[in-house]
Amino acid sequence: MAKHNILGKKGEDIAARFLAGKGYRIIERNWRTGRDEIDIIAYVDKTLVIVEVKTRSTDFFGEPEEAVTERKQKFLVRAADKYVNQKEIDSEIRFDIISIIIEQGKETIKHIEDAFYPTIYE
């Protein structure tokens, strides 16, 4: 496995533990549909939360959450729509980002709730 993939997997594990510690119920990890993937799908209260995890080893080139571009948001919204329809979910939906920097063995976690709002993409 490539070094960046190992870092990404470690970040997703950290994010899942972090969310569980905050009372989130993780229901899916790495859910795929076609080329789209959702890192973590969870519930908190009665809200379905779609979580994108971004992990970096440094913030030298910017904060990890800056990598969740409009294009990436489009893919997340499309995947979430497929998930909700496939599972016949009828609840509030929220899109969060968990930004993690693992530098010299120290983890810095930033949880951005309602990181973006879905818009209609074509």
Q: Tell me the C-alpha distance between 4 and 65, whole Å.
A: 16
- Tell me the fold of 3-112: Trna Endonuclease; Chain: A, domain 1 (3.40.1350)
pTM for this one?
0.92
Lowest mean pLDDT among 24-28, 37-41, 47-51, 117-121: 117-121
Label residue 84 exposed, middle or buried (CB < 10 Å: 0-12, 13-18, 19+). middle
Could you state, in order of their start, the residue ranges of all structural domains in the chain? 3-112
In 3-state terms the chain splits into helix, strand, coil percentages (rounded to 5) of 35, 40, 30
Task: Say yes or no to pLDDT of 122 above 60.
Answer: no
d(CA 41, CA 89): 12
